[in-house]
């Protein structure tokens, strides 16, 4: 069972929450209810949700999988921006490690930002290669994709083992990209 931390940040997933203690309490209650998968990202806030995850749950219990995303960043005005350069991706991985207080990230999903509202075609080879190298260095256990098209998933599996694909799909939004 998973819990997504995106809404733990302030309005628009930007800045601090109105009630940080309440956000910490929500995470602790989720774990008590059996959640064993936390979905987060250091670009939520930015940095805010990962700091809340650490405050609420560190040291992390055995069996808890923390999945984070890289490939995006927030502008000063809160805009969602692509962050695919090697330096941006490395920095994002190290920010996630520091803010979550981890030595290795369980899963890192490359958030494809060719369209902020849904999957769209675009090149993934270079950013995925950067993450695969960080995985070889022992900083990432598993790689995944977020906001990916079927052709990007096929392409990614030829470049590196892909553990998961995280696309927008829920009770209200059931459109698939098949």
User: Which amino acids are annotated catalytic?
Assistant: 44
Whole-number Å distance between alpha carbons of 47 and 43: 6
Sequence-distant (≥ 6) Cβ neighbours of residue 128 within 8 angstroms: 110, 143, 156, 159, 160
As a dihedral over the C-alpha atoms of residue 68, residue 95, residue 88, residue 135, rounded to 10 degrees, the angle is -60
Element (H, E) at 145: strand 140-146
How far, CA to CA in Å, does 82 sit from each of 15, 134, 139? Answer: 19, 19, 22
Whole-number Å distance between alpha carbons of 107 and 130: 15
């Amino acid at each position: 069972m998973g819990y997504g931390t995106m809404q733990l940040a302030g309005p628009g997933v930007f800045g601090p929450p109105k009630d940080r203690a309440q956000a910490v309490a929500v995470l602790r209650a989720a774990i008590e209810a059996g959640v064993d998968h936390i979905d987060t990202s250091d670009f939520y806030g930015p940095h805010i949700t990962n700091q809340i995850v650490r405050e609420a749950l560190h040291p992390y219990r055995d069996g808890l999988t923390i999945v984070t995303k890289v490939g995006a960043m927030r502008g000063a005005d809160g805009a969602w921006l692509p962050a695919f350069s090697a330096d941006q991706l490395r920095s994002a991985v190290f920010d996630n490690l520091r803010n979550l207080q981890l030595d290795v990230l369980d899963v890192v999903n490359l958030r494809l930002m060719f369209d902020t509202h849904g999957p769209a075609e675009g090149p993934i080879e270079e950013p995925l290669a950067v993450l695969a190298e960080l995985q070889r260095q022992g900083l990432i256990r598993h790689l995944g994709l977020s906001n990916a098209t079927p052709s990007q998933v096929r392409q990614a599996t030829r470049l590196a083992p892909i553990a998961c694909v995280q696309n927008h799909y829920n009770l209200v939004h059931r459109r698939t990209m098949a």
